[in-house]
């Protein structure tokens, strides 16, 4: 599995340096765009012009570097199965 975030991936916000408002938010990436300068919806801090992942519903965007990909459930299950075999 690569760590590269692509459209359709489930991701979690692991950084939100200005006010931490969206830390832990989980969403599915609908688009990845070079965005014009954006501001934090909570504290209005300037996030700058960034390469951003945009939620499928179009209501939320985050700089892509602030996200971590969540592995698909199928991969999690196979890891669990391997762990059981090792017991």
Query: Minimal distance in Å, beta carbon 58 to Zn ion?
Result: 20
Q: Which is nearer to Zn ion, 42 or 81 (CB)?
A: 42
Contacts (CB under 5 A) with Zn ion, residues 58-87: none
Q: Which is nearer to Zn ion, 16 or 54 (CB)?
A: 16
Sheet holding 67-69, edge to edge: 61-63, 51-55, 26-34, 10-13, 67-69
Is residue 45 part of the contact set for Zn ion (CB under 5 A)?
Answer: yes
Task: To the nearest 10°, report the CA torsion of 33, 17, 22, 56.
Answer: 10
The DSSP bridge pattern shows strands 38-39 and 46-48 to be antiparallel
Q: HSE, CB side, 13 Å, CA atoms: give it for residue 14.
A: 10
Q: Are 11 and 29 in contact (CB under 8 A)?
A: yes
Is residue 43 part of the contact set for Zn ion (CB under 5 A)?
Answer: yes
Question: Which one of 23, 31, 42, 76 is in contact with Zn ion (CB under 5 A)?
Answer: 42
Question: Which one of 7, 14, 19, 76 is in contact with Zn ion (CB under 5 A)?
Answer: 19
For Zn ion, the binding residues (CB under 5 A) are 18-19, 40, 42-43, 45
């Amino acid at each position: 599995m690569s760590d590269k975030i692509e459209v359709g991936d489930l991701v979690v916000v692991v950084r939100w340096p200005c006010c931490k408002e969206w830390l832990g938010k989980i969403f599915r990436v609908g688009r990845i765009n070079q965005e014009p300068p954006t501001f934090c919806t909570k504290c209005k801090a300037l996030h700058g012009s960034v390469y951003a992942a945009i939620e499928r519903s179009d209501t939320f965007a985050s700089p892509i570097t602030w996200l971590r990909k969540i592995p698909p459930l199928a991969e999690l299950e196979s890891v669990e199965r391997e762990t059981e075999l090792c017991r």
